[in-house]
Chains A and B, each alone.
Chain A
């Protein structure tokens, strides 16, 4: 019995130590990366290239996600609201749900799936093929050259993507409501504009920026610390996506409670 308890405590202790070590490593990495943002040089060309890769090339997947989600949401809200004769709520519920939650969260998750994995795979491959060591020997700080451009690009680009996602999501709801559910176009748009508040848009953009930071940080961190060849790179890619997903959902909860909880 005592042996079993001992073994159990050893396992728990081992996991606790490795969890604290991982948090410590991540904190150190994040601190170092953020400190490099405020110290020159900044690689603007690389940052621009990353913005194109993260932002422009994510537009189709984010746009389609928002379109389908906004359309389905309008249909669902209509069906639910008919139960208590509140069909007029479709426009208001749709815009609030899209802008406050679904636009940033689904947009963030889609970009995380696309971008975190790509960053982890790219940096992980550079790590195991010694390209990151080569950067250091060529007097170039890998953190500054590889990580900072990705961080800046993701934080700047995600809010822009979410603006697009929100617009397309609301448009999807508008199309379903007016073409299928018989809503008047002008009054639907009027209700949408009336119910949308500045705090909704600001919280949406803040969430997007935070999600951008999480996406780039997880992709870079797991790739940068990748070990053990192809298998290690594969593991880094999986860990980057899973951790980005969980942290995005956690951050969304925290920001939602902080902004709308009172």
Chain B
């Protein structure tokens, strides 16, 4: 199978002013190449949604930007600083500007909800617990949760509530950059739409730059300014969200319409 070559991407490739730029990023796990020279960029205040199938390298992309995984080759620039050559201390300072909503919310089981939301303020910013608690209650209200939810533990919450607490935690420090990892996976369609609306509102209020990864096209259409599709560890198409239906790319068309037939072959053994 021949790999499609990336097209020109004037809308996401915002030149030196790009808030985040990945340039030829490669990541291997043993013999498996997950990212194969991936290049993409997002401008300040923009919302980039990376779409792609399971195992295509979406989560690895975010983890490489955050430094949770070290890229084997290529460069990752955040505000002109190369993340791949940063010291541990520089990376820690950089991470203070980030917020992240994890796929499974990743709330700390041992802490009550309000402390989960306030964690970045207390540990990362040194805010006093009482002040942090007030901010946490505000953020919980921002995502539609009552103050008394703050006293509960994550195990006592539904999946949708956990996602909302995760979103409150991601925005609690009012970060410049927010990542959303599969924000609607595992939620019913209505709750998924509630989360999408909250993401759009929160990001608009903060003026944050965001990268989201998803395979939920309804979510992607709602939250994206620009979209990029990842396939076999490379960006095969990127452009304004409104143009996704006229991409002229067979891979993108197959994916956004959810068709089993097309150039993308699922690795499924048929009996």
Q: Which residues of A contact B (CB under 8 A)?
A: 125-126, 129-131, 133-134, 136-141, 145
Q: Which residues of B contact A (CB under 8 A)?
A: 63, 66-68, 92, 95-96, 98-100, 102-104, 106-109, 119-120, 123-125, 169
CA of A133 to CA of B169, assembled, Å: 14
A125-B109, A138-B124, A141-B92 known, 18 other contacts, Cβ within 8 Å:
A126-B109, A129-B106, A130-B103, A131-B106, A131-B109, A133-B68, A134-B100, A134-B102, A134-B107, A136-B68, A136-B95, A137-B66, A137-B95, A137-B98, A137-B99, A139-B124, A139-B125, A140-B124
Task: Please give the distance in Å from B108's CB to the nearest CB on chain A.
Answer: 6
CA of A136 to CA of B91, assembled, Å: 10
Interface of B is mostly: mixed
How many residue pairs bridge A and B at CB < 8 Å? 50
A130 to chain B: which residues have CB within 8 Å? Answer: 102-104, 106
9 contacts between A and B (CB under 8 A): A130-B102, A130-B104, A133-B63, A136-B95, A137-B66, A139-B96, A140-B119, A140-B124, A141-B92
Q: Which 3 A-B pairs have the closest CB atoms?
A: A139-B124, A134-B106, A130-B106
Task: Please give the distance in Å from A54's CB to the nearest CB on chain B.
Answer: 16
CA of A130 to CA of B100, assembled, Å: 11
Interface of A is mostly: helix
* Given A131-B108, A133-B63, A133-B68: A138 in contact with B102 (beta carbons within 8 A): no
CA of A125 to CA of B106, assembled, Å: 10
Task: Please give the distance in Å from B157's CB to the nearest CB on chain A.
Answer: 14
Q: Which residue of A lies closest to B67 (CB)?
A: A136
CA of A145 to CA of B125, assembled, Å: 15
* Given A133-B63, A133-B68: A139 in contact with B104 (beta carbons within 8 A): no
A145 to chain B: which residues have CB within 8 Å? Answer: 123
When the two chains form their complex, are residues B120 and A139 in contact, meaning their CB atoms are under 8 A apart?
yes
When the two chains form their complex, are residues A137 and B100 in contact, meaning their CB atoms are under 8 A apart?
yes
B67 to chain A: which residues have CB within 8 Å? Answer: 136
Q: Which residue of B lies closest to A138 (CB)?
A: B120
A141 to chain B: which residues have CB within 8 Å? Answer: 92
